[in-house]
Structures are given as structure tokens and as C-alpha cells.
Amino acid sequence: MSERPDTIVLVHGLWMTPRSWEGWVAHYEAQGYTVLAPAYPGFEIEVEALRENPDVIARLTVQETVDHLASVVESVAAPPIIIGHSFGGTLTQLLLARGLGSAGVVVDSAPTEGVHVTPLSQARSLFAALHNPANRHRAVGFTPEEFHYAFTNTLTEEESLQVWERYAIPAPGYWVFEYGLFANLKPGHQDTWVDYRADRAPLLFVAGEKDHIMPPSVNRSNAKHYEHSPALTEYRELEGRDHWTCGAPGWEAVADLALDWALEHARTDRPWAVV
């Protein structure tokens, strides 16, 4: 075990921007940590501007996004803790697979390639994008009602609308088609493939019991895929939490769980090969 990590990198998910981490940034900075919350390429502008012109992110690729995030992680002198939410959880797994980070925590993670579990609530949540094939080449958003079901189902309609108004943006429809329900129907490896047997930084999956869009069964299956890796992989399920667990009441406990686990298990020596 080497010195304690002092930097945390927060990776946001689809239909969100770094603004979604504003509470966590302040929470961790108040404890003395350096906190980086990088945007996907094109997501740097404000939520309101992206809603007005989502075309600027419609053709973004996962590979471009991982490369950009990797450059941020690599800019930190000592390997940081990486925490990702939703598709940011997938991206966190891809970053760890590159040999980056001292520890990773994925909250309500979207799966990497090979996870075949598709609960009905997940299919219903993603239907907003998948019902129209033309959305494959567009940036697609949720209506307030769709967002309430997919993200904030433990909140009231009024509370959910406030979240939607402050944080929700469209997302590249291509990602939903390629890496959503149909990812495992394509031959060969896709951009979300990882070597589940390889060594890497320790990784914790945190799932919300009430999550509709990335239910616990998806996260359990994703974690189990790493059972033959020499690296530490653990799974925790939080009672009563939905997909908006990073901002719903009680989010501080989730943030503390993520950080405490990462600090306990962080590997700053990184004996695994960087690929």
C-alpha cells in the first residue's frame, strides 16, 4: 500500500453533465480532496445550452470519451480514485481496464459488454430512445414523465421535475442503441468490452434497490463477470435508492460509502500492466 490518494475523479452518466456532481464535489472538497468532474467532449457547456442545441453531442463516440477521460486521469500525479455514475460507471470500468486509477466505485452502473441481464424496467426506461430508429443518429432526451420513471421514481412528481429542470439533457442516441439493449447481439467486441480476467484497481459496484434503468440485477451480473480476475471486486445494494441516488435525499451517505471503500482498498502502486 502506498500513500493515500488525494484526488477524486467523478465521471457523470448519460442524460447528465458534470453539474450532476455538484453536491459531491463540494462534499469531498470540504474534506480536503482535490475533485475533478470532467465533461464528456461537447458536454462542457451548460445544461440549458445543450437542451437548445443537442446536435453538438449527437455523434460523440465512446472511444473519444474514454480517451478524453483517460487524459484527465493521467494528468493527476498520483493515481486518483475514480467514481462513475450510470454510463459513467461503464466508462470507469473502461478506465480501470486501461490500468488507470487507484480504486474505482461505480454507482448504478450501465454494463460493460457481455452482461445479458435485461429487466423489464430497463427496457421500459430506454424505450424513449429506442422506439424510433431515427434516434440512432440524434441526441435524445427524456420527457419529465419518462425521466421520473427512469431516474427519480422514489421522488414525487414535483421533486422529479425540479431535478429534470436542473440536470437533464439529451444523450447520443447511438450510445443507447449500440450499448443498451442490443449491445450483445453484435458480433465481435464493441467499445464497452473489457477483459474480465485482467488485473486492475479494486472496484466496488453500488446498486440501488429501486433503480429502474440500471436495476440491481444488471449490476450484480456485471460484478460477477469479474470473478476470475485477481483484482478485488465487491458489490453493495442500497435499500430504497433509485437511479438518482447521487442527488436524492441521503446522497451524502452514498458519497461517504464510495469514498470510505475506495480509501480502504486503494492501490497506488498499480502492479498491473497499463495497456
Each residue's pLDDT expressed in tens, for the chain with a length of 275 residues: 457 899 999 999 999 999 999 999 999 999 999 999 999 998 988 999 999 888 888 889 899 999 999 999 999 999 999 999 999 999 999 999 999 999 999 999 999 998 988 888 988 888 877 777 777 778 889 999 999 999 999 999 999 999 999 999 998 888 887 766 555 556 557 789 999 999 999 999 999 999 999 999 999 999 999 999 999 999 999 999 999 999 999 999 999 999 999 999 999 887 775 55
pTM of the model as a whole = 0.94
Quickly list DSSP for 29-87.
Answer: HTTT-EEE-PPPTT--S-HHHHHH-GGGGTT--HHHHHHHHHHHHHTSSSPPEEEEETH
Handedness of CA 244, 261, 74, 189 (dihedral sign): negative
Q: Name the nearest CA neighbour of 225 among 118, 122, 87, 115.
A: 115
106 phi, psi to nearest 5 deg: -115, 125
pLDDT at 274: 59
Q: How far apart (Å, rounded) are the C-alpha atoms in residues 53 and 223?
A: 36
Quickly list DSSP for 157-198.
Answer: HHHHHHHHHHH---EEHHHHHHHSTTGGGSSS--TT---TTS
Q: How far apart (Å, rounded) are the C-alpha atoms in residues 75 and 208?
A: 32
pLDDT at 2: 53
pLDDT at 1: 43
What superfamily would CATH give domain 7-265?
Alpha/Beta hydrolase fold, catalytic domain (3.40.50.1820)
Q: How far apart (Å, rounded) are the C-alpha atoms in residues 260 and 270?
A: 19
